[in-house]
Amino acid sequence: MTLRDWAPISGAHSWIAFLARRSVRFLVSMFLLVTASFAMVHALPGDPVRDALGVKAAPDVIAATRHRLGLDQSLWRQYLHYLHGLVTGDFGESLISSTPVRNIMAQLVPSTLALGSVAFLVAIVVSIPLGVVVGIAARDGRRRGVHLTFAGATGLLLSVPDYVLSVGLVFVFAVTFRVFPVAGQSGPSSYVLPVIALATGPIAYLARIVRAETQRVLAEDYMRTARSKRLPRRLLYVRHAVPNILTATLTVSGLILASLLAGTVLVEAVFAWPGVGHELVQSVLATDFPVVQATALFFGSAVLLINLAVDIIIALVDPRSTIRES
């Protein structure tokens, strides 16, 4: 066989090795996440069963609840029981309502995914065109006023925490002017304020990255050559510049999606959004540790899955450098 004949086989082996390494990393990270969620809850001071049932609960009721949940067993047996439950899809029961945690999560996850997806879509649709336009307008030191205004505005937006922005949006648009609902999920208008609160920071951050990448791409030799051929601007930017800009922002977009999902915890708490983040806050306050474990696992596993997907997408876009370096 010639070297050309061996090339596809070598490429297939590289992909298999790449996917195997990424899968092992993902599984190890998931194991550490599961262990950390178990240890975190059991390291909390006090008795979660007594705290959840109340100080007036009878001792026999507390003992029966602890036995039903397996909390009267050794910590090692509890851990093995917890792992078995995760494998079989049994996340336990809520200490407050005695409802299976699996049913609670099934009701909450769609709302959180819907809110996070809309916020991410808004962030992408706004930030990428904004970054490209500013990068083109302010390239090679031109229009310094545009650059300073953009840098100042995005810096200001990045400095405002999601929680503070959420409270401000509620006070102005829901309480003062009564344009949008104060809280809850009651139709398309209820998405507006939570989406703005979640997407504002990612828009500012990603727009900065896209602006910097735009200026870098426009300074490349092939772009100078394309401009020297006097190609139409639409063809110059859309065909030659934008694909390279988008390729470089894939990693950042994945990280933004992961941080955006994590940011739903505080935003959902402010807007009483019926999602996983709001339930996490309520469960921590009520010391409902089976629900706390499930919600923490949801956010942690979502971040790990997003990172894995980003790695694979980047490898598909630029297989030679990514697979070789991993």
Q: Is 321 helix (H, G, I), strand (E, B) or coil?
A: helix
**Residue-wise over 25-35: b if at least 16 C-beta within 10 A, else e?**
ebeebbeebbe
The runs of H, that is alpha helices, within 54-143 are: 59-68, 75-88, 101-137
Contact of 30 with 304, CB cutoff 8 Å: yes
CA distance 234 to 246: 16
Is position 63 within any domain? Answer: no
Is position 256 within any domain? Answer: yes
Is position 192 within any domain? Answer: yes
Q: What is the pLDDT of residue 3?
A: 43
- What is the CB neighbour count within 10 angstroms for residue 234? 8
Distance of alpha carbon 115 from its chain centroid, rounded?
Answer: 11
How many distinct structural domains can be found in the chain? 1
State the residue range of the domain holding 226. Answer: 101-283
| Sign, Cα dihedral of 300, 301, 306, 308 | positive
CATH number at 247 reads: 1.10.3720.10
Is position 49 within any domain? Answer: no
Find the helix packing angle between 3-42 and 75-88, rounded to 10°.
130
Is position 3 within any domain? Answer: no
Q: What is the pLDDT of residue 1?
A: 47
Residue 100, strand partner residues: 93
CA distance 23 to 30: 10
Is position 266 within any domain? Answer: yes
Is position 157 within any domain? Answer: yes
Q: What pTM value is reported for the model?
A: 0.85
In Å, what is the CA distance from 69 to each residue of 42, 48, 75, 100, 118? Answer: 13, 11, 12, 12, 38
Contact of 162 with 197, CB cutoff 8 Å: yes
In Å, what is the CA distance from 74 to each residue of 69, 78, 81, 250? Answer: 12, 6, 11, 46
Contact of 280 with 265, CB cutoff 8 Å: yes
CA distance 82 to 86: 6
CA distance 236 to 239: 6
Contact of 290 with 95, CB cutoff 8 Å: yes
Taking only the tens of pLDDT, the chain with its 326 residues reads: 444 444 454 556 778 888 889 999 999 999 999 999 888 877 777 677 777 777 777 888 888 888 877 878 888 999 999 999 998 988 888 888 889 999 999 999 999 999 999 999 999 999 999 999 999 888 777 878 888 999 999 999 999 998 899 999 999 999 999 999 988 998 899 999 999 999 999 999 999 999 998 888 888 887 777 777 777 777 777 777 777 777 767 778 887 888 888 889 989 999 999 999 999 999 888 888 889 999 999 999 998 998 888 888 877 766 655 555 55
Question: Running DSSP on this structure, what letter comes out for residue 232?
Answer: -
Contact of 157 with 200, CB cutoff 8 Å: yes
Distance of alpha carbon 230 from its chain centroid, rounded?
Answer: 42
- What is the CB neighbour count within 10 angstroms for residue 121? 12
CA distance 29 to 247: 26
Is position 75 within any domain? Answer: no
